[in-house]
Structure 1
Amino acid sequence: MTNLKKLVGLGTAVSMMFSIAACSSDSGNKSDPSNNDSSKHVKLTMASVQGIEGFNYTNGDAVAKYYSDKFNYELDMTALNWDNWNERLRIWINSGDMPDIAVYNYIHADAAAFVEQGLVKKLPDDWKTRWPNVAKVYSKTSLGPQMEKVFGGTYFIPRARFMANLPGDPLPNHPSIYMRKDWAEAVGFPIKSAYTTSEIIQYGKLIKEKDPGKVGDKLIPLAENTNHAVDLFVARNSTHYNNFYKDKDGTYKWGGASEDTLKGLKAFSEAYRSGVLSKDFFTVKNEEHGSYFDVKGNAGATYFQAPTSALQTHYNDFQANIKLDPYQNIHMANILGEDGKYHQEDLINFWGTIIFNPKISDDKFVRYMDVLDYNATPEGNTITNMGLKDVDWTYEANGKVKSLYDPVKEGKPLGGANGKYPSNGYLLGSTILFDDFAFDNPNSDQRLRDMSKQLYADKTKLGTPDTFTKVDWDLYTYDSPSKRKAQIDYNTDYANLVTMQGDIEANWKKWIDSKMPIIKPVLDELNSKLAK
């Protein structure tokens, strides 16, 4: 077996913020207004993905300085990456060594254990009154209110993917296929709004055979990493490939053992063994596979993140590096299973949750909650997305936001490591993700905003209640010692099955047998306690 590394009214809001009181770090206490002294300088420690290692998030650029001056803090950031995010936080939380604040990738079995052991802070009972803008976002996430019922209080503040622009219910996920339209036309491959997994493999084989871009030995027909390869082939064929689920007969089953999962694995195996996927796709770190498409130009396609907020960056990168018009040479499409249906479980309207060290001081906790509340207002949210008011954007007479930022004139993007504001992003305190604002962001080309809306809408239309399912909250919140043990790194395991020697179906059956000691106890519990 191949050894794989584990990859896997604004004025009112602002004035309220500074009258907000501090809360006790003791679970369930009311807040104490006397603890809120914003004139006192505080130092906050934080850990999150999407940070730039070594960057000064206190005053490294004008936006970072705006926030640190406004809220009188120093921010010491630990930048995690996609590969170590889950494990490092898990170690820190369990050892009691987590920073003051962290963005936690919510996994219910772990989260329940953290709450049970007092390893994360319980917010004060009156927090929604004191930070109403955060509370409004919290109510839109679905996860927040549901977990509050389960845990008897608030321990996790989910960050909403969408507020005003929710694109569907159930909520579609972001990835879509980026294809070289010029290459597809050169090899006679049809341009459509959606493709099955086998059609994408056929596209890759045509690109490999004819090399329309004259790339030679560097050609990668379909550039992926482990996570996105599994998402493309297995998840698009198998709705519950990494989860338990309630079947039509009312009993609970395990998606890892479903025939749909085998179907996806067979497609995955064919793509790998035919050379459509790079032979070392599993060594690609983080999300670097996208660069083969829009930076290096040697990939025919990539199944990659495609929320509205990301499209402009990818199109700009393509134009800057490939020197071709991206609107003429990139085609975006959705991927369907071999049954012609879109497969997915409800994404749930959140990504990442904000948690606090249970020993965080009242001063620090209140200060960061103030930041979150400000950034949940229209003005704060606009700053986190578009930069400084009256410098990078302003309000028109009708109240609409007008961009003042010209990336061509500036010679750099607004955000990112090489942008005007490297701090631009979620790390300065956001509970609303870029995905929502992106539909209205004047810095994004209207063509991309319209296309993104269509991609999301089509996923909803192409799914059925059986293939694109709503969240089963009874299952999602079910917790037991057996359930906590049944955590599997599905992406790495599935990639191992595909890259190891032997028949994929035989490999899959052996894998199922090897997992049954931890899977069967959970199935027995679910069917005795939840099945109807």
Structure 2
Amino acid sequence: MTKLRKLVCLGTAVFIMLSIAACSSDSGNKSDQKNTDSSMRVKLTMASVQGIEGFNYTNGDALAKYYSDKFNYDLDMTALNWDNWNERLRIWINSGDMPDIAVYNYIHADAASFVEQGLIKKLPDDWKTRWPNVAKVYSKTSLGPQMEKVFGGTYFIPRARFMTNLPGDPLSNHPSIFIRKDWAEAVGFPIKSTYTTSEIIQYGNLIKQKDPGKVGDKLIPLAENTNHAVDLFVARNSTHFNNFYKDKDGKYKWGGASEDTLRGLKLFSEAYRSGVLGKDFFTVKNEEHGSYFNVKGNAGATFFQAPTSALRVYYDDFQANTKLDPFQNIHMANVMGEDGNYHQEDLINFWGTIIFNPKISDDKFERYMSVLDYNATQEGNTIANMGLKEVDWTYDSNGQVKSLFDQAKEGKPLGGATGKYPAMGYLLGSTILFDDFAFDNPNTDQRLRDLSKQLYAEKTKKGTPDTFTKVNWDLYTYDSPSKRRAQIDYYTEYANLITIQGDIEANWKKWIDSKMPIIKPVLDELNSKLAK
């Protein structure tokens, strides 16, 4: 998946938005008890994004201690960040120095190379029988079974975004536009459920000219980082902006050279050169651009992560820092292309894959698989999402999960770096992401749950089969030396195109010419082997 798709799933602060959605795993299926009850303590090393640097994931809080005691392990965590995640893991895997366990941002060309060279562990053939709850989640991801066919076995355990609450097929990405509703009303900008990219620029210009929030020199009409800026302007207009694709004529083409991509780049350039887009967007680290809107309060809008699991965090932070009611002063909407349609390739129902060092001992491997299997049961998943049973939640008389956590009384959120359980999150062993549970989370305001459902539904409604496309597995799994050489950091390169001097169309054409030596061989292969 691309660097942008990784987005889907938020920083550690998101973990305060955990949910209790019914898990499709059968709670009657017990995890591997012989591993759970093992008397031999093991030390597990792991690397992943969304960790807290220096935090003790063995017993740093009661939730971490619950898991390490239950499964008799010590967990040594290396916390990666969004900027170094891909490259550090790539270096470690290729050098044979990866930790026992890692959460890998799946990129097929690299993944195929790792498998080919024996750099990651192949799971035993009977793993689905031994850890049936993990297998159920695996079957929902689409990627898992498809890659099993390609590689002749299981090397990657994808983590499912959704189990019981899949919001659409194809699956839409999570970002939406956060707009200061009070500022929009002050400058006469219409409040709608969808906007085109050019309308977002119009809003930014109005904010820039009139400064309704009296922010002065600190005003940022539109706050983004590189990835989200490209996603907003280029990807919202060009479905295949970072990929090859099969056109209506049956031939394969390159999205980087499409007129849709040029249209998005022109809008991107306009936003940057007019001062609507924050002038230093390309230097913003990780996902810090969102803080200009909900913490510093000096941004008129931000295109940012917006699944249910993130919204309460964002709204709570906005209220705490601006002292304004977020429900009265934030407007959420989706962004369409200039043609009025929603553009995207199928996100695929996974984010991040769990991989193992090929030299990991059986004891360590089986122990962690037991953790994953437990957390794929209803009880384990509820604990991973809601905290400790009879402390943070319980069952009511009807057998339904009831929250016992009161954030106002506790004086802190449930998870996140400043929360009751900083360890709470995917690093304690989850194959089901929080996006699914958040739709039914009683700790989240019903208005936010309804808003999230509306945002997802709108994207599906506004997409067409040509602009919001299903995954082409033949293309996704196509691998060759030429295809591996054709990996491009589209986000950085598109940002470079609009920040350098000169006409954007002329710059784009020169860029296309510069890439053709690595692009044309792939097109020739695809059209000779896959085109019909």
2:412 counterpart letter in structure 1: K
- Where 2:206 maps in the other structure, the secondary structure is helix
Partner of 2:515: 515
Matches within 5 A, 1:449-488: 449-488=449-488
Matches within 5 A, 1:262-277: 262-277=262-277
Instruction: Give per-residue Cα distances to partners, 1:164-213, cap 9 Å, x unaligned.
Output: 00000000100000010000000000000000000000000000000000
Distance 2:412 2:37 in 1: 39
> For residue 123 of structure 1, what is the amino acid of its counterpart?
L
1:245 and 2:245 are equivalent in the alignment: yes
Superposed displacement of residue 19, structure 1: 3.3
- Letter of the aligned partner of 1:456 in structure 2? Y
| From 17, 20, 33, the counterpart of 2:32 | 17
Q: Please, which moves more after superposition, 203-212 or 375-384?
A: 375-384
1:361 aligns with 2:361: yes
Distance in 2, matches of 1:497 and 1:364, equals 47
Separation in 1, partners of 2:348, 2:429: 21
Partner SS, residue 70 of structure 1: helix
Cα distance in 2, alignment partners of residues 443 and 76 from structure 1: 31
User: What do the CA deviations read for 1:273-329 (whole angstroms, capped 9, x no partner)?
Assistant: 000011111000000000000000000000000011000000000010010000111
1:474-508 deviation line (CA, Å, top 9, x unaligned): 00000000000000000000000000000000000
Conserved in 1, the CA contact under 8 Å of 2:27 and 2:377?
Answer: no
Local SS of the residue matching 1:213: coil
Query: Does the Cα contact within 8 Å between 2:244 and 2:253 map onto a contact in 1?
Result: yes
Aligned to 2:178: 178
Alpha-carbon distance in 2 for matches of 1:252, 1:399? 53
Matches within 5 A, 1:431-446: 431-446=431-446
- Change over 3 Å in CA distance of 1:85–1:170 after alignment to 2: same
Tell me if the contact between 2:100 and 2:360 (Cα under 8 Å) persists in the aligned partners: yes
Aligned residue in 1 for 2:411: 411
Q: Which amino acid aligns with 1:217?
A: D
Q: Aligned-pair distance for 1:10?
A: 6.7
State the distance in 2 between where 1:328 and 1:383 align: 33
> Residues of 1 paired with 2:397 and 2:327: CA distance?
32
Please report how far the alpha carbon of residue 11 of structure 1 lies from its aligned counterpart in structure 2 after TM superposition. Answer: 6.5
Does the CA contact (< 8 Å) of 1:105 and 1:351 recur in 2? yes
Amino acid in the other structure paired with 1:177: I
Which residue of 2 is the match for residue 196 of structure 1? 196
- Aligned to 1:290, the other structure's residue is in SS state helix
User: What residue identity is the alignment partner of 1:179?
Assistant: I
Q: State the Cα deviation string for residues 340-387 of structure 1 (Å, max 9, x = none).
A: 000000000000000000000000000000000000011111111111
CA contact (8 A) 1:10 1:379 kept: no
Secondary structure in 1 matching 2:77: strand
Partner of 2:328: 328
Structure 1: which 5+ residue stretches go unaligned? 1-6, 21-35
- What is the match of residue 83 of structure 1? 83
Is 1:344 the counterpart of 2:359? The answer is no
Deviation at 1:397, TM superposition (A): 1.5
5+ residue gaps, structure 2: 1-5, 8-24
Structure 1 range deviating more: 331-340 or 402-411: 402-411
Match of 1:188, as an amino acid? G
Q: Partners of 2:438 and 2:513 in 1: how far apart?
A: 45
Q: Percent identity?
A: 87
Cα RMSD over matched residues?
1.2
Partner of 1:289: 289
Q: Distance in 1 between matches of 2:437 and 2:399?
A: 16
Q: TM-score normalized by structure 2?
A: 0.95
Higher relative contact order (CA 8 A, sep 6+): 2
Residue 19 of structure 1 aligns to a residue whose secondary structure is: helix
Kindly indicate whether the alpha-carbon contact (under 8 Å) linking 1:37 and 1:363 is maintained by their aligned counterparts in 2: no
Q: CA deviation at 1:401?
A: 1.4
Paired residue for 1:313?
A: 313
Deviations 1:455-481 (A, max 9, x none): 001100000000000000000000000
Q: How many residues align?
A: 510
Instruction: Write the distance in 2 (CA, Å) between the matches of 1:38 and 1:449.
Output: 41
2 CA distance for matches of 1:398 and 1:484? 54
